Amino acid sequence: MILELDRDSHTPLYAQIAIQIRGMITGGALKVGDRLPANRELSKVLGVNRTTVNTAYEELLADGLIESHVGRGTFISAIPSPPRRSWIKEPAPPPPIQWGPMLAGRKPDQWLSGMPRNLPAAEAVSLAFALPSPELFPIEEFRRSVDRVLRKEGSALLDHGSAAGYRPLREYVAQQASLSGRAVAPEQVLITSGCQQALSLIRQVLVRPGDEVIFETPTYPGALSVFCGYETKYSCIPVNEGGIDLVLLEEALAQRRPRLIYTIPSFHNPTGVTMDLASRRKLLDLALKYRVPIVEDDIYGELRYDGPSLPSLKALDEYGVVIYINSFSKIGFPGIRVGWIIADKTVIDALTVTKRANDLHTTLLSQAAIFEFSRRGLLAKHVKRIKKTYANRRDVMLSALEKYFPEEATWTHPEGGLSIWVTLPESINANQILIESMEKGVIFSPGEHFHANLSPANNMRLAFSTTNAQSIEESIKRLGAILKARIGALRKQDGGHGFEALRALV
C-alpha cells in the first residue's frame, strides 16, 4: 500500500491517510476482505505517530469502511457510498449558516466602536483620544515592579485569584479613598478590568430589560455602549457649565423611576466641566430624595491642574447612595486594565458574583504590578510629572484656540482632565470637518459619539494629552483654517444675513 503524505498541507495527516485509503477502496485497489497493515507497521513506514494511524483507522471505522478483529487485524468491510465530507473532494455543501439573523437584535455599537482610529501616516496628529501619553510612561520603573512581584510572589500570581480582587490592592484602594473622604473598608472595593468593566457589571446587576437609566449628554461613549446597546430605556440630561442640569434631572427623577444616574462630576468627558460643591450636595440630595443610586465616574478626578480640589460625591455620601468607579487608565497605564468600584458592601457582593460569572477575576499580574508600583510611591511621582506636562499642553491648546479658531467657535476651559470641548456654529457638522482635517493629517473626536442618538453634532472634542506643544499649536492652526474657510463659505452662501442671525445664537 503506497501512501503519500504532504506535511505542509492544512489537511491533518490522519485525514490524508484516511482519504487515500478510502480512495483506494473506491478505486478498487483495495477490496472488501483485504487486510490493512497493522498500526505499528504503517506508522513506521510513513514515519508518523501511532496515534495518527489510529485516528485514521477510527475515521474509516466510523464510516463503516473497515472492521477490526482482535488478534486478527483490520479488514476492508465495505465500499464507500458517494463522498459526503468536504475533505473528500467536492461534496454537495449544505446551505451556509446564516449568522446575521442570529447576531441581530442589538443596536450596532456606533459609540465606542465608531470612534475615529489613528491615521496611519507618521506625521499625522491625533487629538482624538483622551488618554495618557505613552511617551511619558515610566516603563523601566514599571518593568522593575513587575519583576519584583513575580520574584516575590511567584506561582501564586499565576494561580487563580479572588473574584473581588488582589487583597493588597483592595486594601490600598480603600486606604487611599479613606484619606480623601469618609472611611472605606477593603470589603467595599471590587477590582475590575478598568472602568469599562465596572460600568458593564453595574448594568448587569442593577438594570433589567425595560428599566430606565439617566446619564448626561454628551457623555463617555463607553457608557453609551453599555447603557444603550441593550434593552434599556434612558433619559439624557444636558451638561451645562456647572455639570449635569439639576433642574432637568429633578424633573426626570420625579416623572420616572430610573435605576441609576450615571455622572462624571469632575472634568467631565467630553466637556471638561466640573460640578461645584453646592451642586454636588444638591445632586446627592436628589438621589436620596428619589432613592436612585448615583454611579460616579471619577476617572479624571486626580488630574486637576488648577483651582481648589473638591471632594468626590462618594466622599460626601453619608448614606451609601453612590457607586464610585475609577481606574489606573488615565493616571497610570490603560493597557493593564485595572480599575475599581467602591460601594456599599451589599452592592459589592452582588457585583463580585457577577464579576465571577463574567471572567472569574482580573489578571493577578496587572493587579500586583500596579499595586507594587503605587505602594513604592512611583505612581504618585508619575502623576505629579504628567500633571505638569498636561497642564502645559492644555494651556498651549487654549492659547492656540484663541489665536487660530474663528470667533464664532466657543470652547470650555477645563481645570483638569485631558480634553477641551469646542462648540461650532450650529450649521457646521463636525463630522464633515473631520473628513477635511484627516486630509490635513489631524484627527479629533466629533461630537456625535458622545450622544446616545448619535445625531451629527456641532462639537469637537480636542484631547491635548497625547500630543506635544508644537504639534498642538500646528494642528489647531490647521483646524482653525478649515473652520474659517467653512464659515466664510457659509457666510457667502446666504449673503451674510442668515449667518449673522446664526452667530447671535452662538
- Within 191-220, which residues bind a copy of itself (CB under 8 A)? 192-194, 196-197, 200, 205-206, 208-209
Minimum CB distance to a copy of itself smaller for 323 or for 400: 323
Of 50-58, 295-303, 397-405, 497-505, which part binds a copy of itself (CB under 8 A)? Answer: 50-58
- Nearest distance from C-beta of residue 151 to a copy of itself, angstroms: 7
Where does this chain touch a copy of itself (CB under 8 A) — which range of 19-27, 352-360, 452-460, 485-493? 352-360
Nearer to a copy of itself, 382 or 393 (CB): 382
Site for a copy of itself in 426-465 (CB under 8 A): none
- Smallest distance from the beta carbon of 196 to a copy of itself, in angstroms? 5
Among 48, 59, 283, 411, binds a copy of itself (CB under 8 A): 59
* Least distance (Å) between residue 87 CB and a copy of itself: 8
Closer by beta carbon to a copy of itself, 144 or else 491: 144
Instruction: Identify the residue whose cell numbers are 461645584.
Output: 276
For the segment 290-319, give every residue that binds a copy of itself (CB under 8 A).
291, 293, 308-311, 315, 318-319
**Rounded least distance, CB 401 to a copy of itself, Å:** 26
Query: Where in 243-282 is the site for a copy of itself (CB under 8 A)?
Result: 259, 276-278, 281
Based on CB atoms, which residue is closest to a copy of itself, 182 or 492?
Answer: 182
Contact 145, 376 (CB under 8 A): yes
Q: Which is nearer to a copy of itself, 5 or 365 (CB)?
A: 365
Task: Identify the H or E element spanning 377.
Answer: none
Considering only residues 162 through 181, tell me which ones interact with a copy of itself, judged by CB under 8 A.
Answer: 163, 178, 180-181
The DSSP secondary structure of 189-231, one letter per residue, reads EEEESHHHHHHHHHHHHH--TT-EEEEEES--HHHHHHHHSSS
Residue-by-residue DSSP string for 78-130: -PPPSP-STTSSS--PPPPP-HHHHH-SS----SSTTSPPPPSSTT-EE----
The residue (of 342 and 483) whose beta carbon lies closer to a copy of itself is: 342
Note if the bond before 218 is cis, omega within 30 degrees: yes
Closest to a copy of itself by CB, 166 or 404: 166
For residue 488, the SS3 value is: helix
For β-strands 442-443 and 125-126, DSSP reports them as parallel
Residue 120, all three cell numbers: 496611519
Q: Which is nearer to a copy of itself, 77 or 180 (CB)?
A: 180
Residue type, 437: S
Q: Whose Cβ is closer to a copy of itself: residue 142's or residue 421's?
A: 142
Q: Which residue, 251 or 306, is less far from a copy of itself as judged by CB?
A: 306
Beta bridge partners of 67: 75
In what helix (H) or strand (E) does residue 25 lie, and over which residues does it extend? helix 13-27
Residue 25: CB minimum distance to a copy of itself, A = 18
**Total interface residues for a copy of itself by CB under 8 A:** 112
161 binds a copy of itself (CB under 8 A): yes
- In angstroms, the CA 356 to CA 345 distance is 16
- Binder among 135, 247, 455, 505 for a copy of itself (CB under 8 A): 135
Nearer to a copy of itself, 70 or 102 (CB): 102
Q: What CA–CA distance (Å, rounded) separates 134 from 374?
A: 18
Residue with cell 487660530: 404
Element (H, E) at 443: strand 442-443
Binding characters for a copy of itself, 88-127, by CB under 8 A (x = yes): ---x-xx-xxxxx-xx-xx-xx--xx--------------
- Rounded to a whole number of angstroms, the minimum distance from the CB of residue 1 to a copy of itself is 20
Alpha-carbon torsion, ordered 82, 86, 89, 92, to 10 deg: 60
364, HSE (Cβ side, Cα atoms, 13 Å)? 17
Per the CB < 8 A criterion, the answer to whether 407 and 381 are in contact is no
Residues 303, 268 contacting (CB under 8 angstroms): no
Q: Does 86 contact a copy of itself by CB under 8 A?
A: yes
Q: Should residue 467 be labelled a site residue for a copy of itself when binding is judged by CB under 8 A?
A: no
List the interface residues with a copy of itself, window 4-33 (CB under 8 A): 10-12, 14-15
User: Which window, 347-355, 416-424, 480-488, 491-499, contacts a copy of itself (CB under 8 A)?
Assistant: 347-355
**Four-CA torsion 86, 89, 94, 100, nearest 10 degrees:** 70
- Cα separation, 73 vs 41, in Å, equals 12
Q: Which is nearer to a copy of itself, 405 or 450 (CB)?
A: 450
Q: Map the footprint of a copy of itself across residues 361-420, applying CB under 8 A.
A: 361-366, 369
Please tell me the distance from the alpha carbon of residue 229 to that of residue 452, in angstroms, as a whole number: 10
- Taking the C-alpha atoms of residue 464 and residue 420, their distance in angstroms, rounded to an integer, is 8
How far is the C-alpha of 254 from the C-alpha of 190, rounded, in Å? 31
Interface residue with a copy of itself among 78, 183, 485, 501 (CB under 8 A) is 183
Residue with smaller CB distance to a copy of itself, 160 or 497: 160
SS3 assignment, position 275: coil
Q: Taking the complex as a whole, how short is the minimal distance between the CB of residue 40 and a copy of itself, in angstroms? A: 13
